[in-house]
């Protein structure tokens, strides 16, 4: 995908983490579990560190933890593609929960399948780090991009 025609990302991982820490301190603030690992044009890879506090009965990581990871990951992919100009708003998030996550870090790869002027749409694959290729969740999200950018 990173061929000559792909533009570079408009924000680095460090710039994104600084931006997110300021804008979403509850998710990305001090002691945060959610991290940006890599970005490219229309792409972000996120990590959610394992923390026993997220656990549901039976030892599984909660659905909201995975939904937050998918939603913030697509938001990061949009920021990486268009820069911090105008905040995109989530209009739809659809999550399929595929198997019980292991008590491990979660990795999410987020790709935009559309990046228009008014709408961006992306998909997210989430798996347990070190547990093989089977996904624990798959999501799609739609974001409304403010017209004034």
Instruction: Pick the binder of a second copy from 12, 85, 86, 119 (CB under 8 A).
Output: 119
In the complex, the smallest distance separating the C-beta of residue 74 from a second copy, rounded to whole angstroms, is: 11
DSSP letters along 41-94, please?
TTEEEEEE---GGGBPTTSPBPHHHHHHHHHHHHHHHHHHHH-SSS--EEEEEE
Q: Which stretch binds a second copy (CB under 8 A): 7-15, 30-38, 78-86, 113-121?
A: 113-121
**Residue 80 is a binding residue for a second copy (CB under 8 A):** no
Nearer to a second copy, 118 or 148 (CB): 118
Question: How far apart, in whole angstroms, are the C-alpha atoms of residue 120 and residue 118?
Answer: 7
Largest CA distance in the chain: 48
Q: Supply the angle between the helices 13-23 and 63-82 in degrees, to the nearest 10.
A: 120
User: Can you say whether the dihedral through the CA atoms of 52, 56, 57, 60 is positive or negative?
Assistant: negative
**Residue 113 is a binding residue for a second copy (CB under 8 A):** yes
**Residue 40 is a binding residue for a second copy (CB under 8 A):** no
In the complex, the smallest distance separating the C-beta of residue 104 from a second copy, rounded to whole angstroms, is: 19
Q: Which stretch binds a second copy (CB under 8 A): 11-19, 32-40, 76-84, 86-94?
A: 86-94
8 Rama sector, left if φ>0, alpha if ψ -120 to 50, beta otherwise: beta
Question: How far apart, in whole angstroms, are the C-alpha atoms of residue 138 and residue 130?
Answer: 18
In the complex, the smallest distance separating the C-beta of residue 56 from a second copy, rounded to whole angstroms, is: 7
Note the residues at the interface with a second copy (CB under 8 A).
23-24, 26, 53, 56-58, 62-64, 67-68, 71, 87, 89-99, 113-114, 116, 118-119, 121, 123, 125, 134-135, 138, 140, 142, 144
């Amino acid at each position: 995908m990173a061929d000559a025609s792909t533009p570079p990302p408009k924000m680095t991982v460090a710039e994104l983490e600084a931006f997110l820490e300021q804008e979403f301190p509850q998710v990305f603030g001090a002691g945060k579990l959610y991290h940006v690992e890599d970005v490219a044009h229309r792409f972000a890879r996120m990590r959610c560190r394992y923390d026993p506090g997220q656990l549901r009965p039976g030892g599984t990581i909660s659905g909201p933890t995975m939904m937050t990871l998918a939603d913030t990951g697509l938001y990061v992919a949009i920021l990486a593609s268009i820069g911090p100009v105008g905040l995109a708003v989530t209009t739809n998030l659809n999550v399929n929960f595929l198997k019980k996550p292991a008590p491990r870090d979660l990795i999410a790869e987020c790709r935009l399948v559309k990046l228009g002027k008014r709408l961006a749409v992306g998909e997210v694959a989430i798996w347990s780090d070190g547990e093989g290729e089977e996904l624990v969740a798959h999501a799609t999200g739609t974001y409304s991009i403010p017209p004034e950018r």
